[in-house]
């Protein structure tokens, strides 16, 4: 067994303020009509540009930025994990809008000018976030914080499906992922069936979501299942109408095709769940540290750790070690 260790020096607030080494700046593009109502801006590793309305707290804006950075730089060494993803996101102007609420003036103006952004500014936006969907105290926790989901949609839509089309193509019969999804749904359905076959474990039933939309949602479920973000009884019950594989072990054992893709090192899909902290200059690649004592070990959802492959060790000096065990 190989132990890969990432150590972050964090003030331990399990439970309080997260450590995020980004700054909120003024909107660098106020003259672009679509972006004029976003006074807050964060540049995430030159790859994702976060624009937020004034009423969204700085803590929430920075949480979205940290989540994006952790997904792009999963080992938190300050370098984007996949150079191809980096180049794809930088070739476009990849944006993550944060809206105060659904139907806000900023949202209406952005989408009224969306075609102009696409045509004249090489713009890409795979998803949006609303104020009530961002919870820095519960990173990625289904039902509380949608940051992981929406940032993943943005990264996947603006990079993976474009640079690895034979693997992540969204159209029917176009990729390894579309073939895997057909198995996961119990068959190939170009529209929502009245009833999904019992042998399927992915049965999204949103009638507004076409096949390509289903594939994008499927990719999200697979990534977070592999990360362990669904390994909670309440979450598992809440998502059961759409997705059934709640633990990394279930995902590995049942969705064999997609697990092989998600864990293939060639594509560098993030394996570790974001925890809302990102400050690579504070990272130490040291396994042992003197003058401190371990006080608690928890999983990503804050529970006492019981043989989880990804866990956090909390020390009395306020530091936290992220540990990921790979067999």
Going by C-beta distance under 8 Å and a sequence separation of 6 or more, which residues neighbour residue 220? 149, 152, 153, 156
Run of H or E residues at 153: helix 147-155
121-131 per-position pLDDT tens digit = 688 999 999 99
Higher pLDDT, 155 or 16: 155
Q: Answer yes or no: is pLDDT of 259 > 70.
A: yes
Number of other residues whose CB lies within 10 A of the CB of residue 132:
12
Distance of alpha carbon 126 from the chain centroid:
12
Tens digits of residue pLDDT in 105-116: 999 999 999 887
pLDDT value of residue 17: 63
Share of the chain above pLDDT 90, in %: 70
Kind and range of the H or E element at 214? helix 211-227
Mean pLDDT over the full length of the chain: 87
Tell me the per-residue pLDDT of 29-55, one tens digit each, with 9 for 90 and over.
999 889 999 999 999 999 999 999 999
Per-residue confidence band for 305, with pLDDT thresholds at 50, 70 and 90: low
pTM of the model: 0.81
Given this model, what pLDDT does residue 304 score? 73
Q: Which 3 state secondary structure label does DSSP give 93?
A: strand
What is the rounded distance in angstroms from the CA atom of residue 26 to the CA atom of residue 39?
6
* CB burial of residue 54 (10 Å; 0-12, 13-18, 19+): exposed
Q: How far apart are CA 206 and CA 286, in angstroms?
A: 47
So where are the chain's domains? 1-16+279-327, 20-134, 164-272
Q: Is the pLDDT of residue 288 over 90?
A: no
- Residues 137 and 106 sit within 8 Å (Cβ to Cβ): no
pLDDT of residue 171: 97
Q: Which residues contact 206 (CB under 8 A, 6 or more apart)?
A: 192, 213
pLDDT at 70: 97
Question: The tokens of 54 are what?
Answer: 């004034």
């Amino acid at each position: 067994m190989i132990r890969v260790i990432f150590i972050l020096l964090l003030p331990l607030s399990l439970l309080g303020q997260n450590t995020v080494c980004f700054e909120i700046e003024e909107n660098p593009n106020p003259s672009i009509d679509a972006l004029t109502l976003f006074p807050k801006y964060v540049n995430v590793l030159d790859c994702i540009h976060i624009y937020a309305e004034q009423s969204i707290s700085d803590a929430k804006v920075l949480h979205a930025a940290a989540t994006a950075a952790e997904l792009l730089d999963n080992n938190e060494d300050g370098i984007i994990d996949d150079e191809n993803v980096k180049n794809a996101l930088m070739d476009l102007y990849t944006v993550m809008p944060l809206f105060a609420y659904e139907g806000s003036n900023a949202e209406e103006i952005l989408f009224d000018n969306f075609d102009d952004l696409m045509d004249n500014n090489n713009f890409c936006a795979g998803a949006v976030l609303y104020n009530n969907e961002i919870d820095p105290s519960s990173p990625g926790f289904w039902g509380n914080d949608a940051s992981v989901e929406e940032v993943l949609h943005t990264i996947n839509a603006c990079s993976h499906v474009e640079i690895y089309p034979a693997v992540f193509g969204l159209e029917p019969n176009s990729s390894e992922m579309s073939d895997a999804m057909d198995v996961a749904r119990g068959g190939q359905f170009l529209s929502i069936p009245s009833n999904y076959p019992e042998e399927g474990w992915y049965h999204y039933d949103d009638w507004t979501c076409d096949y390509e939309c289903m594939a994008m949602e499927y990719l999200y479920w697979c990534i977070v299942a592999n990360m362990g973000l669904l390994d909670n009884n309440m979450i598992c019950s809440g998502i059961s109408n759409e997705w059934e594989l709640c633990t990394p072990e279930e995902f590995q054992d049942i969705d064999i095709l997609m697990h092989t893709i998600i864990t293939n090192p060639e594509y560098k899909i993030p394996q570790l769940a974001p925890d809302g902290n990102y400050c690579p200059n504070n990272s130490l690649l040291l396994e042992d540290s003197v003058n401190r004592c371990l006080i608690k070990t928890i999983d990503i959802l804050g529970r006492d750790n019981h043989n989880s492959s990804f866990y956090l060790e909390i020390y009395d000096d306020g530091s936290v070690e992220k540990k990921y065990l790979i067999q």
